[in-house]
Amino acid sequence: MKKIYILGAGPGHPDYILNKTKALVKSVDLVVGSKRLINSFDCIKKFLLIKTDFNTLFNEVEKKLEDINSVAFIVSGDPELYSLTGLIQKRFKAMCKIEIVPGISSVTYFYSKLQRPLNGIPILSLHGRNFDLKELDSLNEFVILLGNKNCLKDLSEYFLNSNKEFILGENLSYENELITRGKPEDFLNYNQSTLSILSILDN
Ligand SMILES: C[S@@+](CC[C@H](N)C(=O)[O-])C[C@H]1O[C@@H](n2cnc3c(N)ncnc32)[C@H](O)[C@@H]1O
């Protein structure tokens, strides 16, 4: 049976990629990933770039699998946290054996930088998802994977004049990593990186 690997690449810097993942990436016939993550490896020769139209991408992978035996999807952070894993499983589980290799989530990396325990902290995502911000009212501390540019503005407006502290982590693990603390009003017009996580906590 053909084999599909879903490999967590960690937050992005090569130092945070598991050896197992590095070895698998070298051994498979084809690697699929975003340009950012492909660039985290120095050994990838054949790759397909992830597109926003997953259906077209999966069709392309299925076609390639007629001639090859193994494909590795590289995903950011950990594959079990707000990732492509579910979509890949749904599409390929009937025709391929799937193996998932974990990675260091951007959230665990962020909290280790903050030296804060993650125990019991809700992890939410605004990456391509919407939810009612009122659901956040009852939480003392939570962390959010930010999506488009408006997310931070919307959250800053929602928590304006509250006693919340915002801690923004941008480009985590890269040389231009930035961790910024402030009040919601400090982030109203903040031009955040597309790669950002926000922790919101009671002061
Ligand atoms: C589709 S989600 C995938 C999350 C991933 N599975 C994980 O465990 O980190 C992508 C989001 O993760 C966050 N992210 C991933 N890598 C990051 C990094 N190096 N720095 C900051 N945020 C990051 C950003 O919020 C980004 O929009």
Q: What is the pLDDT of residues 4-51, one digit of tens each?
A: 999 999 999 999 999 999 999 999 999 999 999 999 998 787 888 987
**Domains plus CATH for the chain?**
2-104 (3.40.1010.10), 107-202 (3.30.950.10)
Question: How far apart (Å, rounded) are the C-alpha atoms in residues 66 and 147?
Answer: 35
For 10, the 3-state DSSP assignment is strand
Q: Is the pLDDT of residue 130 over 90?
A: no
**CB contact at 8 A, 197 and 167:** no
Return the best residue to mutate from 83, 192, 195 for the ligand 1 pocket (most ligand atoms within 8 A of CB).
195
Instruction: State residue 129's pLDDT score.
Output: 66
Q: Is the pLDDT of residue 128 over 80?
A: no
Residue type, 93: K
Q: Is the pLDDT of residue 127 over 80?
A: no
Q: Residue 166 Cα, ligand 1 centroid: separation in angstroms?
A: 17
Whole-number average pLDDT of the chain: 94
Nearest 10 degrees: CA dihedral of 20, 22, 24, 27?
-140
Confidence tier at 136 by pLDDT (50, 70, 90): very high
Q: Residue 148 Cα, ligand 1 centroid: separation in angstroms?
A: 12
Instruction: State residue 44's pLDDT score.
Output: 81
Closest-lying ligand 1 atom to the alpha carbon of residue 105:
8
